[in-house]
């Protein structure tokens, strides 16, 4: 039962953090396409690790993480008001390059010259 509640709380935190990020005015955060990749909350809700990634690359992710760290007090207060948690976890922002990595994989797959089965002419069509 507790595991279900922790999972639900984690998803609620992720949803609300996404909304709060849109309201921030720090240019380090607003200048890039920022995405929350994953949120991990400890069992006692004392710490919350937020993995963020930017489409512009790892440098943009690191810069955004610095901006989010400076705004952590505001974000934590907003999170407490929106979710009504007894104890709002301390937020730890960790940059990752997962969006950049996924975009690179997609570019590689799109550059491959693979013909699908639909493009091959069937012998029955000529008869």
Q: Within 13 Å and on the Cβ side, how many CA atoms surround 43?
A: 3
CATH code of 2-111, in short, is: 3.30.300.20
Instruction: Give ∠ CA 122-126-127 in degrees, rounded to 5.
Output: 115
Identify which of 58, 70, 72, 60 has the alpha carbon closest to the alpha carbon of residue 30.
60
pLDDT surpasses 90 at 2 = no
Average pLDDT, the chain: 85
**pLDDT band at 119, cuts 50/70/90?**
low
CA dist 93 → 3, 4, 89, 113, 116 (Å): 23, 24, 12, 39, 43
Give the pLDDT confidence score for residue 1 in this predicted structure. 46
Which tokens in the block code for residue 42?
């400890």
Please tell me the pTM assigned to this model.
0.76
């Amino acid at each position: 039962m507790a595991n279900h509640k922790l999972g639900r709380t984690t998803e609620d935190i992720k949803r609300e953090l996404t909304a709060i990020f849109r309201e921030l005015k720090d240019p380090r955060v607003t200048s890039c396409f920022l995405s929350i990749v994953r949120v991990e909350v400890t069992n006692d809700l004392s710490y919350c690790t937020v993995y963020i990634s930017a489409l512009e690359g790892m440098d943009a992710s690191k810069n955004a993480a610095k901006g989010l760290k400076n705004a952590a007090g505001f974000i934590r207060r907003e999170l407490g008001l929106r979710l009504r948690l007894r104890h709002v976890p301390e937020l730890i922002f960790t940059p990752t390059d997962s969006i950049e990595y996924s975009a690179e994989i997609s570019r590689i797959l799109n550059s491959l010259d693979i013909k699908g089965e639909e493009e091959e002419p069937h012998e029955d069509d000529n008869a």
